[in-house]
Amino acid sequence: METETETNLSLQEKVNGNDVVVVVEEGGDIFKRFTNENISVSDDSSPISNSNGHAENAVVFDNNIKDDRVISAPEEKKSKVEDSMKEIPSDSKVVDSKKINGGDYIRIVIPHSQLPKPEAPPGLSTPPPPQRSISLPDENKPWIGNYLRERSNNFSAAIAKKLSSFKENNDRDVSWLSVMKPEEAVTQINISGMKVIVKMKSESENEKEVVKGRISFFSRSKCRDCTAVRTFFRQKGLRFVEINIDVYREREKELIERTGGSSQVPQIFFNDKLFGGLVALNSLRNSGGFDHRLREMLGRKCSSDAPAAPVYGFDDQDQEEEKKDEMVDIIRFLRQRLPIQDRLMKMKIVKNCFSGSEMVEVLIQHLDCGRKKAIEIGKQLSKKHFIHHVFGENEFEDGNNFYRFLEHETNIQSCYNFRGSTNDNEPKAAALVGQRLAKIMSAILESYASNDGSHVDYGSITRSEEFRRYVNLAQDVHRLNLHVLTADEKLAFFLNLHNAMVIHAIIRIGHPEGVMDRKAFFSDFQYIVGGYAYSINTIKNGILRNNHKNNLLVLVIIKQNGWQLTAEKVNPLIHFGLCNGTKSSPRVRFFTSQGVEAELRSAAREFFQNGGMDVNLEKRTVYLSRIIKWFNADFGQEKQILKWMISYLDATKAGLLTHLMDDGGPINIVYQNYDWSPNS
């Protein structure tokens, strides 16, 4: 009878009780052990237990008896086993193993060295599970280190053995890879508390290995053809460099030079070779020659003549547009010469201020001009938001009226687009800054958000060059003249500024967790805009909703600006264009001043289509977003809301809602729970 020491030793780890039973398979050679209740099996065989809990084809030995006397076995088996024990060669060894879990010794018979070794049955498709041997602890080393080292070695050996078996089986059996798609060719290996998944490389991953060069393409924001090119490369799993000339405007000259005079986008480059636009891409893709052309053109490393990836820098065009304000020298002189002090005014301490008469006297001496000229200069400085009246009562007057520099205003230094000083350059046109803001933020979404805009990768935005340039752009709104904006330009400007500030706030201070965090998030995160500090709430409720009843800061801003910035009539569609960074919020988007109304209507239709509204005809219930309830003052009464939203619903929902409203029966309105978790 042959035994296998390695097999028995590996099974000793599974014995938890003191009673150890040695089992001999009928006609087999390998010892197996089981406790009083459970049988431990190292291969696929399964002994059949009788009513006593023992295998019927087993011979049982008592480990408390120091010899190998049979104490329990079927009568017809005893003689065979005793005979086989007698036939053990004389030079075979009987070895006592170590105690297991406090139990007694187990006697193990080691076979003669010249006896044949056991072989795996023919046709076995998978090797037996990896065996583990007992490793006695080293008294000179920490037991934790030994344990981790042993587990690591066993884990690595098991994976290597399993993977090698796949290769051997692939030569004998029908290849399972030939009948499966690459993305489906996944094998799972289960190893004692671990799970390893082996996945075959997909075609796109193989292409990455072939592609040694670089794919580049020039684009613009909100360009459908550019979106199609970007989507195609992502679906193919190809890495590419996108150069958005709305973000990197200095690169437009390079595009014109490379294309021979055209600034049309998209323009795709394989290394330094111009491939063409979307038409060329579709033609090659439809003919099936894209992969061949790709390998042909990108089989070598990219040369220095290829379009370079965008790097840290400043836009040359922006620097050319920066003009020094004619009042800059005067205001810098006043900052140094005026006596800035805390004053008592109207029973209040007013900090960091100066009087109008003090500024007039300094101007007369510095410019050698008359008093009337000095007063006129003071009014120009106030109009350009270099200085403000401490209570917002007037622009500038001579006498005992107190004023402050913009950087000394309350909350200005805590604004997140303030970098130690205000922007003293000549303010750019507000409409131009608004367009630039929309384009750069749209480019950020196209690169770092899902295709539908519902999921935003804030981490990637934080590290991007596009966002760094946006932060630079945010300083251009410090002293903008917003009064010159048309109604549509003003609407688009503040919608876009609100959404951009939400993204900036999530990046800088994190997504709010609870009610108090949300209140601080929307009220404390502020920008300097047109000479005043605007929070996210100020823009939404004070400017876009013209709701200033409970907001003293909005009252001050409105009073200073002569009510010219607030909306004359609230447009309820704004609520579908404002994103607050949550899952139940409308998706983030940015608007153009030329098409803001149409874009808002599209946003409303998308919001209602994607869960913002639903109808249950049997229950006669309409399910609405909680946004409708929170801002019902903007939408009207419930019946008016239902009638208003019909024009923004798809045909199915509109038909169901119309049926409920026309049959004269009651309609239940249920407001859905709001999901405040981040849209990341």
DSSP string computed for 125-152: SSPPPPP----PPPTTS-HHHHHHHHHH
Q: pLDDT tens digit string along 536-560?
A: 999 998 889 887 555 555 555 555 5
Mean pLDDT highest for which of 82-96, 344-358, 427-441? 427-441
Of the given ranges (401-410, 505-514, 552-561, 671-680), which has the lowest mean pLDDT?
A: 552-561
CA 646 to chain centre: 35
Q: Quickly state the pLDDT bin for 312 (edges 50, 70, 90).
A: confident
Instruction: For the chain, report the end-to-end CA distance as a whole number of angstroms.
Output: 66
Instruction: Cis check for the bond before 111: say yes or no (omega within 30 of 0).
Output: no
Name the more confident of 642 and 21: 642
Q: Quickly state the pLDDT bin for 188 (edges 50, 70, 90).
A: low
Backbone conformation region of residue 27, classed left if phi is above 0, alpha if psi is from -120 to 50, else beta: left
Of the given ranges (139-148, 226-235, 293-302, 483-492), which has the lowest mean pLDDT?
A: 139-148
Q: pLDDT tens digit string along 266-309?
A: 999 999 999 999 999 999 999 988 888 888 888 888 888 999 99
Backbone conformation region of residue 531, classed left if phi is above 0, alpha if psi is from -120 to 50, else beta: left
DSSP E strands: which ranges in 416-477? none
User: What pLDDT does 26 receive?
Assistant: 41
User: What pLDDT does 167 receive?
Assistant: 52
User: What pLDDT does 652 receive?
Assistant: 93
Segment 456-485 shows an average pLDDT of 94
- The yes or no reply on domain 327-410 and CATH 3.40.640.10 is no
Interatomic CA distance for residues 55 and 51, integer angstroms: 9
Interatomic CA distance for residues 25 and 31, integer angstroms: 7
User: What pLDDT does 368 receive?
Assistant: 93
Residue 173, pLDDT > 80, answer: no
Instruction: Cis check for the bond before 266: say yes or no (omega within 30 of 0).
Output: yes
Interatomic CA distance for residues 680 and 36, integer angstroms: 55
User: Of 565, 569, 571, 570, which Cα lies nearest the Cα of 601?
Assistant: 571
Signed CA dihedral, 136, 140, 144, 145: sign only: negative
Name the more confident of 11 and 224: 224
Signed CA dihedral, 607, 609, 611, 617: sign only: positive
User: Of 423, 387, 392, which Cα lies nearest the Cα of 405?
Assistant: 387
User: What pLDDT does 487 receive?
Assistant: 92
Mean pLDDT highest for which of 173-182, 371-380, 383-392, 548-557? 371-380
Residue 125, pLDDT > 80, answer: no
Interatomic CA distance for residues 202 and 200, integer angstroms: 6
User: What pLDDT does 138 receive?
Assistant: 45
Interatomic CA distance for residues 417 and 531, integer angstroms: 12
Residue 244, pLDDT > 60, answer: yes
User: What pLDDT does 187 receive?
Assistant: 57
User: What pLDDT does 52 receive?
Assistant: 43
CA 163 to chain centre: 34
Backbone angles phi, psi at 239, to 5 degrees: -80, 145
Could you tell me if 221 and 196 are in contact, meaning their C-beta atoms sit under 8 angstroms apart?
Answer: no
Question: What pTM, to 2 d.p., does this model score?
Answer: 0.69
Task: Please report how many Cα atoms fall inside a 13 Å half-sphere around the Cα of residue 314, on the Cβ side.
Answer: 9
Q: What is the CA radius of gyration of the chain?
A: 39
Residues 6+ positions from 270 with CB-CB distance below 8 Å: 213, 215, 293, 294, 297, 298
pLDDT cut 90: percent of the chain above it: 52
User: What pLDDT does 104 receive?
Assistant: 47
Could you tell me if 215 and 241 are in contact, meaning their C-beta atoms sit under 8 angstroms apart?
Answer: yes
Could you tell me if 213 and 297 are in contact, meaning their C-beta atoms sit under 8 angstroms apart?
Answer: yes
Q: Quickly state the pLDDT bin for 386 (edges 50, 70, 90).
A: very high
| Strands across the sheet containing 613-616 | 613-616, 621-624, 668-671
Per the structure block, which two tokens stand in for 85? 């024990």
Reduce the secondary structure of 15-78 to three states and give it as a string: CCCCCCEEEECCCCCCEEEECCCCECCCCCCCCCECCCCCECCCCEECCCCCCCCEEECCHHHH
Residues in the chain: 680
Residue spans per domain, the chain: 211-299, 327-410, 430-600, 608-671
User: What pLDDT does 320 receive?
Assistant: 54
Name the more confident of 330 and 95: 330
Segment 468-491 shows an average pLDDT of 94
Residue 468, pLDDT > 90, answer: yes
Of the given ranges (211-225, 397-411, 512-526, 560-574), which has the lowest mean pLDDT?
A: 560-574
User: What pLDDT does 112 receive?
Assistant: 57
Segment 119-142 shows an average pLDDT of 48
Residue 640, pLDDT > 80, answer: yes
User: What pLDDT does 637 receive?
Assistant: 86
Could you tell me if 544 and 576 are in contact, meaning their C-beta atoms sit under 8 angstroms apart?
Answer: no
Q: Would you identify the CATH topology of the domain 211-299?
A: Glutaredoxin (3.40.30)
Q: pLDDT tens digit string along 36-79?
A: 444 333 344 344 344 444 444 444 444 443 344 333 444 554 45
Average pLDDT, the chain: 77
Could you tell me the CA-to-CA distances from 323 to 317, 327, 385, 504 in Å, in that order?
12, 11, 17, 27
**Residue 355: in which H helix or E strand, if any?**
strand 348-355
Helix, strand, coil distribution of the chain in percent, nearest 5:
45, 15, 40
Q: Quickly state the pLDDT bin for 210 (edges 50, 70, 90).
A: low
Q: pLDDT tens digit string along 23-38?
A: 444 444 444 444 444 4
Could you tell me the CA-to-CA distances from 145 to 123, 137, 138, 154, 241 in Å, in that order?
41, 10, 10, 14, 46
User: What pLDDT does 439 receive?
Assistant: 96
Could you tell me if 245 and 252 are in contact, meaning their C-beta atoms sit under 8 angstroms apart?
Answer: yes
Segment 151-167 shows an average pLDDT of 62
User: What pLDDT does 165 receive?
Assistant: 61
